[in-house]
A and B are shown apart, each in its own frame.
Chain A
Amino acid sequence: DAKTTQPPSMDCAEGRAANLPCNHSTISGNEYVYWYRQIHSQGPQYIIHGLKNNETNEMASLIITEDRKSSTLILPHATLRDTAVYYCIVRDTGTASKLTFGTGTRLQVTL
């Protein structure tokens, strides 16, 4: 699976949009981009995934560049409860495909 690069930490004011970047320049054509987050002392939680097109769900939006070498997770109105470590992962969805976690971005949402 392709590796990803994320900034180690980011801050965001409550109510503002949080834009979390991810570089995955070696992504291959059959690999999806997944985003997870992990709130302190809990297991990681699935947020969103996509292949080529931008995606949106009730939690977030995922913007993937046309060349697929990078993506951005957008939390449109961050709250204090969004403080967490956010992981960007690229993965083939084959039968026994594994998720390989990097170190992620620690997002701190402040008042």
Chain B
Amino acid sequence: DVKVTQSSRYLVKRTGEKVFLECVQDMDHENMFWYRQDPGLGLRLIYFSYDVKMKEKGDIPEGYSVSREKKERFSLILESASTNQTSMYLCASSSIKGTANYGYTFGSGTRLTVV
């Protein structure tokens, strides 16, 4: 079964810490995405990448950066965590090749709490 795996299900970090959220996919997908989800605001796109070492800002990139050194791995970095970054973080991947264009496959999410 194809998968997008997020390294942690729950995470608690202190204000000011540097936080790494890891996402790995085993589908050889070109595109990878990071979203955050908050009550009443839905899913909002933070960053996405359509190739190794490529990245594009989404709708809410402030306070975040990303890294994609290998095709299967896309990391979200909170340079200095703040309480307003407490959220559910969702990683997704997609392919554009032929009949594999079935949209996105999402991970199970990482619930991050910044205290």
Interface residues of A (CB under 8 A from B): 34, 36, 41-46, 49, 93-96, 98-104
Contacts and interface: CB of A to CB of B under 8 A. Distances in A.
Interface in B50-82: 50, 56, 58
A43 B31 contact: no
B31 A44 contact: no
A36 B102 CA distance: 11
Nearest to A41: B109
Contact of A101 (B43, B48, B102, B105): B43
B43 A44 contact: yes
Contacts of B43: 44, 101
A75 B109 CA distance: 26
Interface of B: 4, 30-31, 33, 35, 42-45, 48, 50, 56, 58, 90, 92, 96, 101-109
Contacts of A102: 42
B109 A42 contact: yes
Contacts of A99: 33, 45, 92, 103-104
Contact of A98 (B30, B58, B102, B109): B58
A93 B107 contact: no
Nearest to B54: A96
Contacts of A100: 45
A45 to B, nearest CB: 7
Contacts of A98: 33, 45, 48, 58
* Most-contacted residue by chain B among A44, A45, A100 (CB, 10 A): A44
B106 A43 contact: yes
Given A93-B96, A96-B48, A102-B42, A43 B102 contact: no
